Amino acid sequence: MRALILAGGSGTRFWPLSRKSRPKQLLALEGQGTLLRDTLDRRCRRSRS
């Protein structure tokens, strides 16, 4: 099985944290990991179980 992570949108709800130079997928909103890293970690955990 392969996973495709779709990440898009303008991130207006996260302004002023989210900007063109720092999109929302690269923000660390909970803990240390970015939203993208957290998604990748969840996917990896699911593939091991």
What pLDDT does residue 26 have? Answer: 87
- pTM comes to 0.68
CA atoms within 13 A on the CB side of 47: 9
What pLDDT does residue 24 have? Answer: 85
Average pLDDT for 19-32: 86
Average pLDDT for 21-33: 86
Band the pLDDT of 8: cuts 50, 70, 90.
Answer: confident
